[in-house]
Amino acid sequence: MRSKDKISYFYDGDVGSVYFGPNHPMKPHRLCMTHHLVLAYGLHNKMEVYRPHKAYPVELAQFHSADYVEFLNRITPDTQHLFPSEMARYNLGEDCPVFDNLFEFCQIYAGGTIDAARRLNNQLCDIAINWAGGLHHAKKCAASGFCYINDLVLGILELLKYHARVLYIDIDVHHGDGVEEAFYFTDRVMTVSFHKYGDKFFPGTGDMKDTGERDGRFYSINVPLKDGIDDGIFTRLFKTIIAKVVETYSPGAIVLQCGADSLAGDRLGCFNLSIDGHAECVRFVKKFNLPLLVTGGGGYTKENVARCWALETGVLLDTELPNEIPDNDYIKYFGPDYSLKLPGGHIENLNSKSYIGTIKMQVMENLRCIQHAPGVQMQELKGCLLSVFVRIAVALHLRYILPLKVIAS
């Protein structure tokens, strides 16, 4: 057990000024609200706070196609009408609008996740947090579900330079389809997604039968849930599955996507999770004492998103936060009770005992299929040889990331 975790936290106030449009549910302003709660509770004094670098196009093209990255870089609200075929090809439009400073927004949130992975790789921290990241729907050549650049895939690719196996866990209400798709054919990344499935719920993927292909067969785990799941059922299922996954897969690092749209009362969600229930998943993953990269994700009732991620920052710091929210620049959003905790909801729970039992049994059966499969020892060796050179390069890069004790906006 580590006596005290060293935590790196990434934030750039510019992400909060991005505006998707008046009727769009994605409100990056929630990140400013989260950060001001972190400041109000004094959590910044217990972490290393960094402003991330803006990811270069060549870094984004480590996963995304170069033509897609280039188009994101040059398209603007004023010029989008000139490129109807490209807009359609790259799935830009209503769900994924073109807005001012779109590419810079992508560079910032992707840069935060890349920097977080690099600090973990260089053992400069035990846990790295980028609440602006977690945009798990973006595809190699297209935007999807409010996501343009898949920072999670880029972060995992960084971690794979040092670790033979990386575990990706997703507790967003939506299936982590972009991350699963990126690693569907490899055993070097195991993806585990807990999500709402059925009733044409976006993105429509994530069936229990989708388990990966070729070398990746059984390395994609989907936990498809129905409306109204509550803390008790969700956390018991989560702990049972994740404990067995870690035991079986033995990852070198974990990436945890903490989409807050799985909370009760979310504008686009349909679960009954309280903030305590959501945070219990974070607490459980932290106990494995593995290098841990934590990101945000979905979440469309912005005051509840801020509550959730501030409380989970406290969980990662082993710091219990008072339920009464301290005064801060966004205090008016948290009225009338100004409390941090959010209770569970009252949507009818359609997840029967037998349904949950079937999911658990199928996941355990899939894990048994890989228990005696050949490992990736050769890749482990290759990673060790590569790391000598990579560590030098990354250490030089990290000298230019500016550490900040307080970022006020």
Characterise 150 by phi-psi region: left (phi > 0), alpha (psi -120 to 50), beta (else): beta
261 in a known ligand binding site? yes
**CB 296, CB 134: distance < 8 Å:** yes
Please state, in angstroms and rounded to a whole number, the distance separating the CA atoms of residues 169 and 60.
22
Indicate if the alpha-carbon torsion angle 321, 322, 327, 331 is positive or negative.
Answer: positive
81 is catalytic: no
In degrees, rounded to 5, the angle at the alpha carbon of residue 157 between the alpha carbons of residues 154 and 159 is 115
In 3D space, the residue among 336, 234, 218, 243 whose CA is nearest the CA of residue 276 turns out to be 234
383 in a known ligand binding site? no
The residue count of the chain comes to 409
145 in a known ligand binding site? yes
Question: Exposed/middle/buried for 74, CB within 10 Å: 0-12, 13-18, 19+?
Answer: exposed
Which segments of 151-276 are extended strands (E)? 166-170, 189-196, 220-225, 253-257
In 3D space, the residue among 222, 305, 237 whose CA is nearest the CA of residue 268 turns out to be 305
Whether the upstream peptide bond of residue 25 has omega within 30° of 0, thus cis, is: no
95 in a known ligand binding site? yes
329 in a known ligand binding site? no
300 in a known ligand binding site? yes
Please state, in angstroms and rounded to a whole number, the distance separating the CA atoms of residues 299 and 294.
15
Two structure tokens written together for 97: 């609008």
Looking at residue 304, the DSSP 8-state letter turns out to be H
Task: Please pick, among 35, 64, 136, 137, the residue that the annotation labels catalytic.
Answer: 137
Query: Which residues define the annotated binding site for substrate?
Result: 95, 145, 300
As annotated, the active-site residues are: 137
Residues in binding site = 95, 145, 172, 174, 261, 300
Q: Which residues are annotated as a binding site for a divalent metal cation?
A: 172, 174, 261
